[in-house]
Amino acid sequence: EIVLTQSPGTLSLSPGERATLSCRASQSVTSSYLTWYQQRPGQAPRLLIYGASSRATGIPDRFSGSGSGTDFTLTISRLEPEDFAVYYCQQYGSSTWTFGQGTKVEIK
């Protein structure tokens, strides 16, 4: 089973700052199958980025994804108040899906 490790665990930033979140896989992941979700407090996760770099419908362009192989990155170019949330990466392989443990982006 592929293990996804996200870092940092918590990111303390101010509105307007840039956030860079990392997702590292224990084995190579097919880029098409690397996904990012956002989860705000008290809400279900929301699809953010699919195929490592494509924004889901309605996701603002301040969100971007990149990476390949075992290293993937989610970048939020300028944090808005509604972006303070927990972010999860997810991968699919061999009929199994796994999630990273999440990165919390909190207001500094």
Partner 1 sequence: QVQLVQSGAEVKKPGASVKVSCKASGYTFTNYYIHWVRQAPGQGLEWMGFINPNGGSTTYAQKFQGRVTMTRDTSTSTVYMELSSLRSEDTALYYCARGSRDGYKTFEYWGQGTLVTVSS
Task: Identify which of residues 70 and 98 has a Cβ nearer to partner 1 in the complex.
Answer: 98
Whose Cβ is closer to partner 1: residue 44's or residue 61's?
44
For tokens 């407090």, name the residue. 41
Q: Which of 28/54 has CB closer to partner 1?
A: 54
Shortest Å distance, C-beta 64 to partner 1: 17
Residues that bind partner 1 (CB under 8 A): 1, 32-33, 35, 37, 39, 44-47, 50-51, 54, 56, 88, 90, 92, 95-102
- 3-state SS record for the chain: CCCEEEECCEEEECCCCCEEEEEEEEEEECHHHEEEEEECCCCCCEEEEECCCEECCCCCCCEEEEEEEEEEEEEECCCCHHHCCEEEEEEEECCEEEECCCEEEEEC
Least distance to partner 1 from the beta carbon of 72, Å? 14
* Shortest Cβ 92–partner 1 spacing (Å): 4
